[in-house]
Amino acid sequence: MFSDADAAALYDVLNPWDPGAWPADALYEALVGTADSVLDVGCGTGAMLVRAREQGHTGRLVGLEPDRAALARARRRTDIEWIEGTAADADRQHVRGPGPRDGPSGFALVTMVSHAFQCLVTDDALRASLAAIHAALRPGGLFAFETRHPRARAWQNWTPDHASTVEAPSGRRLRVWHEVESAEDGVVAFTTTTTSAGPDATVLRRDRSRLRFLDESALDGFLAEAGFLVEGRYGDWDRTPVTATSREIITLARRPALSRR
């Protein structure tokens, strides 16, 4: 048996949140640290918000996540709000919360980290999610996220030859890898396999996923349609511009302060 709870715990081992080691985490930590309220869409096990609270963040922190096992792990921390839902639920009143008496409700910052944005595979999902995130922000609020640049073709390295071998929280040694099933029209379908490590490896779990790879032009079209203004665009975590060799499209998009949407 390798349960959903086991998979959520393994995710934290494979993807530790560490701003000291990972420039991506450092960029988001800096943004979170200057925002008085944060909604993390697709928060997973909640590592980013947990660290923010541990670092002394005193504002409102909300994690929104559809995966119940990941959310159960996040809920071990009780001084952060954890809500089950998708990106399209970001504008629900119970997520946004009541506004101050003299101002609108809404978050100063909405994030989608660890390439969670790529889980929005269809045009309808993108439109509904971006509209909801726009509504969840207060006027002048910032939406920060990243997506892998399709030009870099990252999925070509998703093979058993690039497997990770780690020790799970249970103490078992595990091997994890991805295999691409198809890559068509900007959507990559792949399987993630988890096995026991060693010569007598046993398959414990297979999960199928799909991710969408958008280029800058298509991405900006969706953002503009939702009412966002792109304020920053980077090709790497040091905030250098997107170039022909960039592997990321990192975007800071603003809800205009005087938006009527």
pLDDT digit string, tens, across residues 84-109: 999 999 999 889 876 554 445 799 99
Give me the mean pLDDT over the 45-52 stretch: 98
Query: What letters, b where the CB count within 10 A reaches 16 and e where it falls short, cover 247-258?
Result: ebbbbbbbbeee
Per-residue HEC secondary structure of 66-119 comes to: CCHHHHHHHCCCCCCEEEECCHHHCCCHHHHCCCCCCCCCCEEEEEECCCHHHH
pLDDT at 27: 98
CA distances from 212 to 123, 125, 126, 155 (A): 10, 11, 10, 11
Q: Is the pLDDT confidence value at 244 over 70? A: yes
Average pLDDT over the chain reads 94
Q: What are phi and psi of 146, to 5 degrees?
A: -140, 155
- pTM score: 0.95
pLDDT bucket at 170, cuts 50 / 70 / 90: confident
Q: What is the pLDDT of residues 57-90, one digit of tens each?
A: 999 999 999 999 999 999 999 999 999 999 999 9
Q: Is the pLDDT confidence value at 112 over 60? A: yes
pLDDT at 99: 55
pLDDT at 208: 97
* 200 vs 169 pLDDT, higher one: 169
Q: What are phi and psi of 66, to 5 degrees?
A: -85, -20
Residue 88, both tokens: 């399209």
pLDDT at 236: 97
Residue 146, both tokens: 């990243």
% of the chain residues with pLDDT over 90: 90
Amino acid of residue 62: V
Give the C-alpha separation, 153 to 160, whole Å. 17
Name the residue ranges covered by the structural domains of the chain. Answer: 4-149+213-254, 151-212
Domain 4-149+213-254 architecture: 3-Layer(aba) Sandwich (3.40)
pLDDT bucket at 201, cuts 50 / 70 / 90: confident
Give the C-alpha separation, 113 to 195, whole Å. 27
Beta strand 107-112 with 37-41 is parallel
Give me the mean pLDDT over the 129-150 stretch: 97
pLDDT at 103: 46
Give me the mean pLDDT over the 152-179 stretch: 95
Q: Is the pLDDT confidence value at 243 over 80? A: yes
CA dihedral 44, 155, 28, 216 (to 10 degrees): -120
Give me the mean pLDDT over the 3-26 stretch: 96
pLDDT bucket at 194, cuts 50 / 70 / 90: very high
